[in-house]
Amino acid sequence: MAAFQPSQGGIQWLEPIQEEAIRLISVAQPRANMPAVEGKDHVTRALASLQEAGWYEKLVAHRVQALKESHARLRTMVGAKPLEVIPHTPPDILGLYVLVPSGGGH
């Protein structure tokens, strides 16, 4: 999981990347229904943000580094050669949640 918010330069990843996404989704509480057209607009804008060139670079770099570190620990323990990580870009988007503040201050 990863979380971002729109910014003038495209999107801004919320950090720590995975931990902040998990935190946000775990504390989100539904407050009210919104009209379908408004919900569709929020999702359309979020998906459009993920069409901009290079939107994934920081996310992929973070994931590559985490995977390298994880494999390095294991491969060191078993005496194996280092592993080269070659990312697939752009990454696949398996799901999208758009969290919209309710304005209720809760």
pLDDT in tens, 14-37: 999 999 999 999 999 999 999 999
Please indicate, yes or no, if residue 49 is contained in any of the structural domains: yes
Please indicate, yes or no, if residue 105 is contained in any of the structural domains: no
CA-to-CA distance for 63 and 92, rounded, in angstroms? 13
Please indicate, yes or no, if residue 99 is contained in any of the structural domains: no
Q: Is the pLDDT of residue 70 over 60?
A: yes
Domain count, the chain: 1
105 pLDDT tier (thresholds 50, 70, 90): low
C-beta contacts of 5-13 below 8 A and 24+ residues apart: 6/45, 6/49, 10/49, 10/52, 10/54, 10/55, 11/49, 11/50, 11/52, 11/55, 13/58, 13/59, 13/62
Please indicate, yes or no, if residue 88 is contained in any of the structural domains: no
Please indicate, yes or no, if residue 62 is contained in any of the structural domains: yes
User: What does the pLDDT read at residue 76?
Assistant: 87
Find the domain containing 69 and state its range: 4-78
Please indicate, yes or no, if residue 90 is contained in any of the structural domains: no
CA-to-CA distance for 33 and 102, rounded, in angstroms? 10
